[in-house]
Amino acid sequence: MTEKIAGLSKDERDAVKQRAAELRAQEKAGKSRAAGEKAVREAIAAMPDDDRVLAEGIDRIVSEVAPQLVPKTWYGFPSYADEDGKVVVFFKAASKFTTRYATLGFEESAQLDDGDLWVTSFAVIALTPATEKAIAEHIRKAAG
């Protein structure tokens, strides 16, 4: 069982600490594409095999359909930001919080608005031609 202190689990506290370290590293290295790509590659390389395969696929898809998005890490997650530095899409590995599926998520800057209800995240357990096509369509739309 995950230990809770002051409303946050140990995993959540670790994620907050990781985000603070990311911000310090971004400040030191600058917010360049190269620094972001390196941070994302390192985050993906550190994942267990199942998550790594999914993250590599998401990274490839984003690079192909939304090359204008800038890679960076966000709470340790590979993420991709718009020109203002706001996260549009991110990948959360299942192993991050020991969940049964990875998550492909979209933040507020994603251009997915569709009436009064729209999807902001998906559970991802495998990349197939069909899931890759759906992911590409959502990322393309989200990036504008």
What's the mean pLDDT in 13-31? 70
pTM: 0.81
Report how many domains make up the chain.
1
| pLDDT value for 26 | 64
Please tell me the distance from the alpha carbon of residue 19 to that of residue 94, in angstroms, as a whole number.
Answer: 18
Domain limits at 33?
4-143
Q: How confident is the model at residue 67 (pLDDT cuts 50, 70, 90)?
A: very high
What's the mean pLDDT in 17-43? 78
Q: How confident is the model at residue 33 (pLDDT cuts 50, 70, 90)?
A: confident
Within 8 A by CB and 6+ apart from 122, the residues are 103, 104, 105, 135, 138
Please tell me the distance from the alpha carbon of residue 96 to that of residue 47, in angstroms, as a whole number.
Answer: 9
**Is 60 exceeded by the pLDDT of residue 54?**
yes
- CATH number at 86 reads 3.90.1150.200
**Is 80 exceeded by the pLDDT of residue 55?**
yes
